Structure 1
């Protein structure tokens, strides 16, 4: 890493992830395989909702609650599993996350009833959120972090197509169970991780409950803005009050008071809002200004998102060689250029180019700013920083489409 990305008292990623004696270095490929399948739960069902609704004798809007449950699960599970990692160690956190994924997958595969589908999606989300956060905390360089975040973007860009193919070959239940592929990576990683916790402080149960309440309220803001907005303000106020009483609790004060962490998290949120909002805006624009079918639009949008995910690995790796400010300027400029281009253009090629720019910025920003945010906190708080950072990025993914729909 460049010295411009570090500061006094902060640790390099490789220091934070230093293995215990007797534990082996974890190949980045397995970390990516453990993290990437989370994206199947977000976008995989996109093209099979009609089939699910038909089989369950209900409406598509009702079935969409399964997707909402997955979104809630990854938002809540990200900080909760990061807390488990801090207090019980990586092996215990991986075991709990893997068990949740397995139970959720078995539920959606064996019980074709709407309540079971919703619960199964939520369980898989809780588990894969933990696997993703743990994978990111186990990275030992910017290049490794870039590979993990690129795997999320690449899988996400192909998820609707893969989900549709699995539905055609097997059934929609298998499509909903695709996040369980992460268990393959888990089986390799769990044998190589350290067992010691990174924090010896007593578990802060009230802090965990308050953060879960905040996240739940924020996730439902796009659906019930008035009620969820008021609840969000109240729960955030309660969490801030608790943070002052217990600065070393579930949400460590040293993390949320770090200017570098806050700036990195806010930037990641904004880039995610732009990228995921653009996915819907560009699809609508292509539908309005071309004669393409929905299938052709979906296929055409794979390449800009896939390109963004693939290039992000290189961007994150190169970011270690330059200062923080140039990277921020470039990524924000790419995202802004994409938004402006999509706003003023009606040509298909330019709309797809706009999506590619936003995708490169968001996928790269998740990796680059994750490195920045975790380097700004003490080693023992790295899992908490990863969890809270990913929470901000995922909230951006939830808010982006909602903002576009309101506009």
Structure 2
């Protein structure tokens, strides 16, 4: 694929790439913003730290659910409707977090924020149009994620722990540059397949609970997969259209981003643990080193996305696979340098892959299916966030 192929399928982008990054990137604060200050958040809400971790679980679940939900909305109602709805969800969720007297209200706010974040990211991806612009969005997400813990800690020290939970609302700044667009030209919308959407949402939800509830989650996922397969046979033009399932390129790239995402989210935990036990570094040094490596890796991921059209599809995919394969090998080599290099390589493969492979995967899809394809692809990446931590007992 090259950029010309993508431009043939969509209207010329009318939103500057920087505004798209501003709309999407703050969503990553929902993942990493509260990590360091979770004890202060727990104290503020009157619960223990273990209970407060549900704020992270709800965020991950909301993003996983929000990706296919936003895809269905864009396919059926268009970009502008989806943008406004998810901006309202983000606003409502942030207001709830700001005034939450207890955990229940905070959880509701976090859920709405996560749904809004997923929707705003989906809108940005649909408006991007090229591998380079999608790569900028993915790299900006990785950059924000890498500094999120530090920003959340500083916000708590200087203002309040509530600010660490409110950081995703910075995405609303992106509305300044994006709200005026109607989005790329669309063909006739797919019929809104509510049962198909619900099956996909339920399956994604079941899979996100694999790390904490493996057996019931696996059973539920197997049953839902069978039900979804039967539904797809009955509704070949529904939420999971046959045209996507028959597209070998799309399914292969979805599988590849799932593997690359799983590897990155696993090493995100493994590498700091190895540095903690294998060096004399303290937690602050480890955190700063990991952040620096991830910032450099995010820049390299964007550089790879920007040159993907010149490198060609086969060469670019080969580079992503090479980084992805090198990461777990480096992680278990002796010394801190290989471990940090492993984290950087995994991020380049995952963030670069999220931006590049999504453009490759949707290069030849029916324009009516493109929003669904983007949503399903992003769901595969988000599932890596559930599967990666699940591998920790095998890796540590």
TM over 0.5: yes
Choose from 389, 397, 404 the match for 2:377. 389
Q: Which runs of 5+ in 2 are unaligned?
A: none
Checking the alignment, whether the CA contact within 8 Å between 1:48 and 1:163 is kept in structure 2 is yes
- Match runs of 1:7-406 below 5 Å: 12-18=5-11, 25-194=14-183, 198-345=187-334, 347-406=335-394
* 1:344 shift after superposition: 2.3
1:238-264 CA-partner distances (Å, limit 9, x unpaired): 111111111111222211221100111
1:67-92 CA-partner distances (Å, limit 9, x unpaired): 10000000000010111011101110
Structure-2 change in CA distance of 1:178 and 1:198 (3 Å): farther
Work out the CA distance in 1 between the residues paired with 2:58 and 2:185. Answer: 32
Aligned alpha-carbon RMSD (Å): 1.6
Work out the CA distance in 2 between the residues paired with 1:171 and 1:252. Answer: 47
Checking the alignment, whether the CA contact within 8 Å between 1:260 and 1:376 is kept in structure 2 is no
Checking the alignment, whether the CA contact within 8 Å between 1:34 and 1:186 is kept in structure 2 is yes
Which of 140-149 and 92-101 deviates more?
A: 140-149
SS in 1 for 2:34: helix
* 1:406 shift after superposition: 4.6
Structure-2 change in CA distance of 1:203 and 1:302 (3 Å): same
Work out the CA distance in 1 between the residues paired with 2:205 and 2:380. Answer: 13
SS in 2 for 1:46: coil
SS in 2 for 1:377: coil
Q: TM (normalized to structure 1)?
A: 0.93
Work out the CA distance in 2 between the residues paired with 1:219 and 1:143. Answer: 30
Structure-2 change in CA distance of 1:141 and 1:202 (3 Å): closer
Q: Which runs of 5+ in 1 are unaligned?
A: 6-10
* 1:131 shift after superposition: 0.6
Work out the CA distance in 2 between the residues paired with 1:46 and 1:198. Answer: 43
Work out the CA distance in 1 between the residues paired with 2:158 and 2:118. Answer: 27
| Aligned residue number for residue 8 of structure 1 | none
Checking the alignment, whether the CA contact within 8 Å between 1:66 and 1:118 is kept in structure 2 is yes
* 1:15 shift after superposition: 3.3
1:52-74 CA-partner distances (Å, limit 9, x unpaired): 11222222111010110000000
Work out the CA distance in 1 between the residues paired with 2:190 and 2:350. Answer: 35
Checking the alignment, whether the CA contact within 8 Å between 1:142 and 1:371 is kept in structure 2 is yes
Checking the alignment, whether the CA contact within 8 Å between 1:275 and 1:359 is kept in structure 2 is yes
* 1:195 shift after superposition: 8.7
Work out the CA distance in 2 between the residues paired with 1:359 and 1:91. Answer: 31
Work out the CA distance in 2 between the residues paired with 1:200 and 1:355. Answer: 41
SS in 1 for 2:311: coil
